[in-house]
Chains A and B, each alone.
Chain A
Amino acid sequence: MRVWQAIVAFFAMALLTLPAAADSTQGITATTITIGSIGPFSGSASGFTPLNYGAAAYLRYINDQGGVNGRKFDVIFADSACNEAKGIAAAKKLIFEDKVFMIMSNPCSGVAMAIKPMLVQEGVPWMGASANPRITTPASPGMFHTVYPGSEAGRAMATFAMSKPGTTKIALAMHSDDWAHGYCDAASEYIKAHGGEIVATTVLEHGATDGTAQALQIKASGAQAVMGCLYQPELVVLLRDLEKYQINTVVVAALGADFDQVMAAFPSHDWVKQHFFQPYQFQAPIATGPLKKFHDIFVKYLTKDELPKNGDPTNFYYYGVPVAIVAVEAFRLAGPNPTRESWEKAVESLKGFDTGVLADTETFSADNHVGVHKMYAVGLDAQGKETVYKSWGVALPNSE
């Protein structure tokens, strides 16, 4: 008898502890909207956390303006360490314990792909900054890219490189992971479709401390441009070796590196001038023009630990903001009694919405959950000044 009682009690407990599916107003009270922000707050990818902080700073700024329809945002950070297992645990905690309305930011494609089935099943919206295009293409319910997935950035890399007259021979320098393929596969497709040729594919794995073999392969291939689908440390290693061997090629790098931090690795700027570029996501150089407002928001609303230890907020802080801007706009449109369904409909209704940050306006539909496509490129001009380009040699007005 005791055995049966124990078995029944066990299953009763198990049923009680099973996560209940999130209801459509979970995370919303009369005065607050709770949002989960997953990021690599520890581990080797923690350089991406400014993406989380940028979004959080904007929500704190909105709170200071009175919030949306009387509700203020409560942001709960959760650490994924850019690790799938830890990311799933973090998402479970946010959804079932903290009962958040949505998940925001979430750099790290592997984590985003790992938590996607749970989010879709529970109906929890995701608005993130991960590069993998498969997160939102084809469109999945509640999953939105308000910043550029890797495929868009990859196409922008190739478009800019091929806008240099006569450029047809292009090499790929990449990690072998999913993230790098997100950029480089799209770049390759564009290059081949527009009469270009991939003349070399070289691999630099995470932790590489030397890029001699790769740089010399690029040299031997005669590549006129290189698509650098690399994280920041390995990108700097490759650039240093291209400089060392005086290889006269243009490198257009993916968004796994922060432009300002890469520049800091080349204090003299001699070789990187007119050699190194990245797709540029913004309307203007950071901290200038329309982006000045966001610089001030970061400085005012982020804590000392959240801001860079030295210098001004970098590119990644700004890149984190559009997620929050679009989410807030959707809450405005969803009215005083938002539900998940009405919030998602509000996002899908956005057409040509200007975030004031990104180079492109946001346009969504029921079939298209990627809001932005058009990008510029950033690099140093011949005088060494940071400049935003529409295409090779064509600077954005007032960007120099």
Chain B
Amino acid sequence: MDNVLQIQNLSKSYGNKEALKDVSFDIPGGKIVGLLGPNGSGKITLIKTIMGLLQDYSGEVIIAGLKPGHEANKYISYLPDVSHIPTWFTVNRAIAFFVDFYEDFNVELTSSMLETMKIPCNKKIKTLSRGMQEKVNLSLVMGRQAKLYVLDEPIGAVDPASREFIIDTILRHFPAGSSILLSTHIIADIEPILDAAIFLKSGQIVICDEAEKIREERNVSLDQLFREVFRNVH
């Protein structure tokens, strides 16, 4: 399977502070990859670079054969860790926005997701609870038939019951051949769905392997390993 994302020797500095140091990894099609690390480990810098929100880096980033930018954005569906859809939009308006800008957006799929979650589409997003807003954002992002999904803390702001539902939504709706790069602190909940994991510490990759292999070799879960690796990192 072709690589959906290729990163080679990626480094990014803010003056003397190195946010990313010689980061290299590939994500082939059809994989769910966890991007794991504490605050300040470089996860956001890496995601911003993939999304074309940061420039002035060294190394190479290739998404579906393209460098980061507006052309590559046709193939990446991005869920940031902030509420990026204007909250004065109604849910229906947000759907119309995605229809207008993304050719791969599937209205029926999104509408069915929202219906399952019992989200009223005629209401303004700001009138919905935080958890519901997260679900709306996720439904819109997963409603695209993208090659790469970049999800930054998709379950960060929702209750444990909703987490299961969101994870199930992610699993059921991402197309075959596409991949997901999923950044989170809440590893225990997402561990069962991860095919591979990347541990990022102080801008460097400390572990990058298939999830099953990591568990077998070290005889611990990813969650336990995360706690061990990052125990003294604040």
Note whether A and B form a binding pair: no
